[in-house]
Amino acid sequence: MKTKRLVLFASGSGSNVENIVQHFNDRPNVTIAGVLTNKRDAKVLDRCNRLNINGLYFNKNAFQKSDCVLNILKSLQPDLIILAGFLWKIPENLIQNYPNKIVNIHPALLPKYGGKGMYGNHVHQAVKDNSELETGITIHYVNKNYDEGAIIHQAKTAIAPSDSVADIANKVHQLEYEFFPKVIEKLLL
Protein backbone atom coordinates (compact mmCIF):
# COMPACT_ATOMS: atom_id res chain seq x y z
CA MET A 1 0.00 0.00 0.00
CA LYS A 2 1.30 3.43 -1.00
CA THR A 3 2.25 5.71 1.87
CA LYS A 4 -0.16 8.65 2.18
CA ARG A 5 1.33 12.06 2.82
CA LEU A 6 -0.17 14.82 4.98
CA VAL A 7 0.88 18.45 5.10
CA LEU A 8 -0.49 20.43 8.03
CA PHE A 9 -0.97 24.20 8.26
CA ALA A 10 -1.22 25.89 11.66
CA SER A 11 -1.03 29.43 13.02
CA GLY A 12 -0.86 28.88 16.77
CA SER A 13 0.20 26.44 19.45
CA GLY A 14 -0.30 23.34 17.36
CA SER A 15 -2.25 21.18 19.81
CA ASN A 16 -4.31 19.76 16.92
CA VAL A 17 -1.12 19.20 14.93
CA GLU A 18 0.40 17.22 17.80
CA ASN A 19 -2.80 15.23 18.24
CA ILE A 20 -2.83 14.33 14.53
CA VAL A 21 0.88 13.43 14.56
CA GLN A 22 0.37 11.15 17.58
CA HIS A 23 -2.67 9.53 15.96
CA PHE A 24 -0.63 8.54 12.90
CA ASN A 25 2.59 7.62 14.76
CA ASP A 26 1.84 3.89 14.69
CA ARG A 27 0.50 3.92 11.12
CA PRO A 28 3.46 3.35 8.80
CA ASN A 29 1.29 4.00 5.72
CA VAL A 30 0.79 7.69 6.70
CA THR A 31 3.59 10.27 6.81
CA ILE A 32 3.46 13.84 8.06
CA ALA A 33 5.44 15.41 5.22
CA GLY A 34 5.63 18.80 6.91
CA VAL A 35 3.98 21.53 8.94
CA LEU A 36 3.71 25.04 7.53
CA THR A 37 2.95 28.15 9.57
CA ASN A 38 2.35 31.82 8.85
CA LYS A 39 3.72 32.95 12.22
CA ARG A 40 7.46 33.08 12.82
CA ASP A 41 7.01 32.63 16.59
CA ALA A 42 4.16 30.08 16.46
CA LYS A 43 4.44 27.48 19.21
CA VAL A 44 3.65 24.81 16.61
CA LEU A 45 7.28 25.14 15.46
CA ASP A 46 8.47 24.17 18.96
CA ARG A 47 6.17 21.14 18.78
CA CYS A 48 7.59 20.23 15.36
CA ASN A 49 11.13 20.30 16.77
CA ARG A 50 10.08 18.12 19.70
CA LEU A 51 8.19 15.70 17.44
CA ASN A 52 11.03 15.60 14.87
CA ILE A 53 8.81 16.90 12.05
CA ASN A 54 9.80 19.46 9.43
CA GLY A 55 8.30 22.85 10.30
CA LEU A 56 8.45 25.81 7.96
CA TYR A 57 7.50 29.46 8.35
CA PHE A 58 6.32 31.51 5.37
CA ASN A 59 5.26 35.14 5.10
CA LYS A 60 2.17 36.72 3.53
CA ASN A 61 3.94 37.53 0.26
CA ALA A 62 5.11 33.93 -0.21
CA PHE A 63 1.57 32.73 0.45
CA GLN A 64 -0.61 35.22 -1.40
CA LYS A 65 1.49 36.91 -4.07
CA SER A 66 3.75 34.16 -5.39
CA ASP A 67 3.85 30.43 -6.05
CA CYS A 68 6.38 29.90 -3.25
CA VAL A 69 4.04 27.92 -0.95
CA LEU A 70 2.54 26.11 -3.94
CA ASN A 71 6.03 25.02 -4.99
CA ILE A 72 6.78 23.81 -1.46
CA LEU A 73 3.56 21.80 -1.49
CA LYS A 74 4.38 20.31 -4.89
CA SER A 75 7.75 19.17 -3.51
CA LEU A 76 6.04 17.61 -0.45
CA GLN A 77 3.44 15.81 -2.62
CA PRO A 78 0.56 15.79 -0.12
CA ASP A 79 -2.42 13.49 -0.51
CA LEU A 80 -4.26 15.84 1.85
CA ILE A 81 -3.57 19.32 3.20
CA ILE A 82 -4.94 19.78 6.71
CA LEU A 83 -5.70 23.19 8.20
CA ALA A 84 -5.29 22.64 11.93
CA GLY A 85 -5.88 26.08 13.39
CA PHE A 86 -4.71 28.02 10.35
CA LEU A 87 -6.18 31.52 10.16
CA TRP A 88 -5.43 32.87 6.68
CA LYS A 89 -7.75 32.47 3.72
CA ILE A 90 -6.38 29.91 1.25
CA PRO A 91 -5.42 31.53 -2.08
CA GLU A 92 -7.01 30.43 -5.36
CA ASN A 93 -3.76 28.93 -6.73
CA LEU A 94 -3.69 26.37 -3.90
CA ILE A 95 -7.41 25.56 -4.17
CA GLN A 96 -7.09 25.06 -7.94
CA ASN A 97 -4.05 22.80 -7.56
CA TYR A 98 -5.54 20.76 -4.70
CA PRO A 99 -9.31 20.51 -5.33
CA ASN A 100 -11.06 18.59 -2.52
CA LYS A 101 -7.66 17.95 -0.95
CA ILE A 102 -7.62 20.85 1.55
CA VAL A 103 -9.54 20.13 4.77
CA ASN A 104 -10.32 22.58 7.56
CA ILE A 105 -11.75 22.21 11.04
CA HIS A 106 -14.03 24.96 12.33
CA PRO A 107 -14.95 25.33 16.04
CA ALA A 108 -18.72 25.63 15.49
CA LEU A 109 -21.59 23.94 13.71
CA LEU A 110 -21.45 25.57 10.30
CA PRO A 111 -23.14 27.38 8.66
CA LYS A 112 -23.55 29.16 12.03
CA TYR A 113 -20.62 31.21 13.31
CA GLY A 114 -18.47 30.97 10.21
CA GLY A 115 -16.74 33.54 8.05
CA LYS A 116 -13.93 36.07 8.31
CA GLY A 117 -12.90 36.77 11.90
CA MET A 118 -14.79 33.80 13.29
CA TYR A 119 -12.11 31.68 14.92
CA GLY A 120 -11.18 30.47 18.38
CA ASN A 121 -12.68 32.42 21.27
CA HIS A 122 -14.44 34.82 18.89
CA VAL A 123 -16.64 31.87 17.90
CA HIS A 124 -17.12 30.61 21.46
CA GLN A 125 -18.03 34.11 22.70
CA ALA A 126 -20.63 34.47 19.91
CA VAL A 127 -22.08 31.05 20.78
CA LYS A 128 -22.36 32.06 24.45
CA ASP A 129 -23.76 35.53 23.65
CA ASN A 130 -26.52 33.89 21.61
CA SER A 131 -27.40 31.46 24.45
CA GLU A 132 -26.92 28.43 22.21
CA LEU A 133 -27.76 25.07 23.77
CA GLU A 134 -25.16 23.22 21.71
CA THR A 135 -22.06 23.83 19.67
CA GLY A 136 -19.49 21.61 18.08
CA ILE A 137 -17.05 21.20 15.24
CA THR A 138 -17.34 21.13 11.49
CA ILE A 139 -14.73 19.41 9.33
CA HIS A 140 -15.08 20.62 5.76
CA TYR A 141 -13.35 20.98 2.43
CA VAL A 142 -11.88 24.40 1.69
CA ASN A 143 -13.15 26.49 -1.19
CA LYS A 144 -12.61 30.14 -2.11
CA ASN A 145 -14.91 31.43 0.67
CA TYR A 146 -14.31 31.23 4.42
CA ASP A 147 -16.06 28.22 5.98
CA GLU A 148 -18.34 27.51 3.01
CA GLY A 149 -16.80 24.32 1.58
CA ALA A 150 -18.65 21.00 1.55
CA ILE A 151 -19.16 19.57 5.04
CA ILE A 152 -17.44 16.25 5.70
CA HIS A 153 -18.31 15.70 9.38
CA GLN A 154 -19.92 17.49 12.31
CA ALA A 155 -19.92 16.58 16.00
CA LYS A 156 -21.97 18.29 18.73
CA THR A 157 -21.70 18.99 22.43
CA ALA A 158 -24.25 20.45 24.82
CA ILE A 159 -23.67 23.81 26.47
CA ALA A 160 -24.98 24.81 29.87
CA PRO A 161 -25.98 28.44 30.51
CA SER A 162 -23.35 28.48 33.26
CA ASP A 163 -20.53 27.46 30.84
CA SER A 164 -17.85 30.12 30.42
CA VAL A 165 -16.16 30.82 27.09
CA ALA A 166 -13.23 28.73 28.38
CA ASP A 167 -15.61 25.85 29.21
CA ILE A 168 -17.08 26.00 25.71
CA ALA A 169 -13.61 26.12 24.17
CA ASN A 170 -12.56 23.07 26.19
CA LYS A 171 -15.62 21.08 25.06
CA VAL A 172 -14.93 21.99 21.43
CA HIS A 173 -11.22 21.08 21.77
CA GLN A 174 -12.19 17.65 23.07
CA LEU A 175 -14.34 17.09 19.97
CA GLU A 176 -11.48 18.27 17.75
CA TYR A 177 -9.02 15.87 19.37
CA GLU A 178 -11.46 12.95 19.17
CA PHE A 179 -12.77 13.35 15.63
CA PHE A 180 -10.26 15.25 13.46
CA PRO A 181 -7.63 12.46 13.21
CA LYS A 182 -10.30 9.80 12.60
CA VAL A 183 -11.94 11.80 9.81
CA ILE A 184 -8.54 12.48 8.20
CA GLU A 185 -7.78 8.77 8.31
CA LYS A 186 -11.08 7.94 6.59
CA LEU A 187 -10.37 10.52 3.89
CA LEU A 188 -7.00 8.90 3.19
CA LEU A 189 -8.51 5.45 2.54
Which among 106, 122, 153, 173 is annotated as catalytic? 106
Active site residue 140: no
Euclidean distance between CA atoms 189 and 185, whole angstroms = 7
Quick check: 148 and 114 in contact, CB under 8 A?
yes
Among 105, 98, 60, 93, CA closest to 79: 98
Among 96, 84, 62, 57, CA closest to 184: 84
- The residues annotated with a catalytic role in the active site are 106
